[in-house]
């Protein structure tokens, strides 16, 4: 792949460094957060950022980019945010507990 060769032209083992990976991700999607960039890195099963990406992992990254990752904004439901006093009331908690225990 020409892209891979150009990204690794200055390194002796043909690998893309983590810094190059970050710049590449920001170039492709400027509004991508660091958390999402790290999440894509973790999909490659590369815990060590010092090793970089080889050609196989770079191809895997390109495949993974077909799937959009989104950061969750909150774990609360709309009712929890809007009416916390109703959501946290005793009758509501009893219903929630009943549903969560599987009837």
Domain ranges of the chain: 2-64, 74-103
Amino acid 89: pLDDT: 92
Q: What does the pLDDT look like over 49-101, one tens digit per residue? A: 777 888 888 888 888 888 877 776 667 778 888 888 988 899 988 888 888 88
CB contact at 8 A, 16 and 58: yes
Q: What does the pLDDT look like over 6-21, one tens digit per residue? A: 777 666 677 888 888 8
* Confidence check: pLDDT of 30 > 70: yes
């Amino acid at each position: 792949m020409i892209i891979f060769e150009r990204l690794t032209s200055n390194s002796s083992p043909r690998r893309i460094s983590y810094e190059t990976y970050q710049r590449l991700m920001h170039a492709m999607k400027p509004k991508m957060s660091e958390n999402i960039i790290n999440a894509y890195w973790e999909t490659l099963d590369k815990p060590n950022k010092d090793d970089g990406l080889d050609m196989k992992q770079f191809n895997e990254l390109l495949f993974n980019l077909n799937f959009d990752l989104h950061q969750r904004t909150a774990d609360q439901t709309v009712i929890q945010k809007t009416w916390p006093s109703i959501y946290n009331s005793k009758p509501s908690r009893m219903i929630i507990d009943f549903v969560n225990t599987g009837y």
